[in-house]
Chains A and B, each alone.
Chain A
């Protein structure tokens, strides 16, 4: 039994690991990084509250002058609302209820052994603009910054680094105060460090620092923070390894001050760390990885026989998982023909296939930036077993399964469930791909 997984973002990696766990031989074709490399550090799983509109948070400008903490709606209720609003949500297509999603999420985290934690009670997290986002989980570097939605929260000290002036702790602390939190701002002065304009450069400066210098900075942070929680911009290291050593230096291996990175706004080291973690997880599990992109496929009689890589290699397989992400990662075309890229699968919108000749991406956006653009819920339509559908609503290929951002039915930013969809459908697609061979679907 051999499974070929196309794409290795969050969804593809989960599929590969799940298939591998059953003992199958798995080959993952890893293209360039996609949306997973831009993940801002917050796990969204059960859907959003309705206000404030998360898209405005993502854009870093909340319209309400007096923004409040997101209302403390129980995750189960958020999930119900999401299912009501998005009848073709991937969770609904597969028939998952709240408990099932929560269970699969835990399973996925354990399987991949990622540096991600689930929030145990309803919580939110601040991003580098000081705006609060609901969080069903987060990168472990954000954990001490999880703020419970009910009851009182700890006071916060926001720290800026003088070599990275793009992040202004005063602005962030102000924003947090607006939202009813006790926050103050402090600066770490690094007079001899070069000024940096990007998160990546700012991180390299910290990576290049001697251990005793980090210790010294850590001491000032601990003294200035006291009993509060220290929030720092998300620049502590480009990889998980360098992150750990910087963090150990600053907190003396966790002895000093509760220190949390903020969720990132644009270009994200959380995402950058994540893609290396995913790659390491694949290697550890014994999945064969090809750094290449799939260019073509051959099929006979509704079964895919093989795919061909740009390196010229041909990979045969018994089952195939398509996890190529949205248009940015190359999963579907932006212009003509407006279809899925590799297999030419039709794109679905709200349960119906779109005519690729009649519609293209431009016809599916509306004027206002913050609208619920239909384009963002377009994707590959699947049945209950995550098999992509053809124009006639029937299964396109018997041994093809799909997962992640590519799936139709949910808006990756507004719906507050994108990371959850990638983890959960990835896990299930990998599993179903193997099962399908054992018990043919009738």
Chain B
């Protein structure tokens, strides 16, 4: 049994070498990522974003950030939707719903940078960086943009 496995493994390695030699592998990188994951609305992160990701995911949905934000005072209709809570607590459990937060990100563009939300967050989540990421245009690589589709 064990011997057969080794044979198979050896055969795979042989195929791998052949492919390497004859350049049979398709080009990888962002283009291939886009091809594979576009449907899922996943998007490639910058290295710095990837470092922030685990911090954003710590949100316990306590709602304190929203309760202190002065942006909502005298709120017009759209401002009623402003929600760091949604951004931080649900978005980063499932990055595919990023576009749902687009409206929130728009409102957050008028953020006065008062820092109250980050000051009160028990989990020390860098919320303004999160808003900037969501508000920034999705990465367009090789002529493809992730925003449509």
Contact = CB atoms under 8 A, between A and B. Distances in A.
A222 to B, nearest CB: 27
Given A238-B67, A269-B67, A201 B72 contact: yes
Contacts of B86: 197
Interface string B58-82: 0011111011010011111111111
Contacts of B111: none
A329 B85 contact: no
A208 interface: yes
A208 B61 contact: no
B75 A38 contact: no
Contacts of B88: none
B122 interface: yes
B60 A194 contact: no
Contact of B82 (A201, A238, A269, A272): A201
A33 interface: yes
A267 interface: yes
Interface in B100-136: 119-124
Contacts of B75: 194, 201, 204-205, 208
Interface string A36-64: 01100000000000000000000000000
Contact of B62 (A194, A195, A197, A267): A267
B122 A34 contact: yes
Contact of B73 (A33, A194, A208, A329): A208
A272 B67 contact: yes
Contact of A201 (B60, B66, B120, B124): B66
Nearest to B74: A208
A37 B79 contact: no
B82 A267 contact: no
B80 A201 contact: yes
B63 A267 contact: yes
Contacts of A267: 61-64, 66-67, 85
Interface string A228-242: 000000000010000
A309 to B, nearest CB: 15
Interface residues of B, number: 28
Contacts of A268: 63
Interface string A190-221: 00001111111101110110000000000000
A90 to B, nearest CB: 23
Interface in B35-94: 60-64, 66-67, 69, 72-83, 85-86
Contacts of A205: 75, 80
Nearest to A268: B63
A397 B22 CA distance: 70
Given A32-B122, A33-B120, A329-B122, A200 B63 contact: yes
Contacts of B66: 198, 200-201, 267
Interface in A329-352: 329
Nearest to B122: A32
Nearest to B119: A32
A33 B79 CA distance: 25
Given A37-B62, A37-B64, A194-B80, 17 more contacts: A33-B120, A33-B122, A34-B122, A194-B78, A194-B81, A197-B86, A198-B66, A198-B83, A199-B63, A201-B72, A201-B75, A201-B80, A205-B80, A208-B73, A267-B62, A272-B63, A328-B122
28 contacts: A32-B120, A34-B122, A37-B62, A38-B62, A163-B80, A194-B80, A197-B80, A197-B81, A197-B83, A198-B85, A199-B67, A200-B72, A201-B66, A201-B75, A201-B82, A201-B83, A203-B67, A205-B75, A207-B73, A238-B67, A266-B61, A266-B63, A267-B61, A267-B62, A267-B66, A269-B67, A272-B64, A328-B122
**Ordered nearest first, which 6 A-B pairs have the shortest CB separation?**
A267-B63, A194-B80, A200-B67, A200-B66, A194-B77, A196-B80
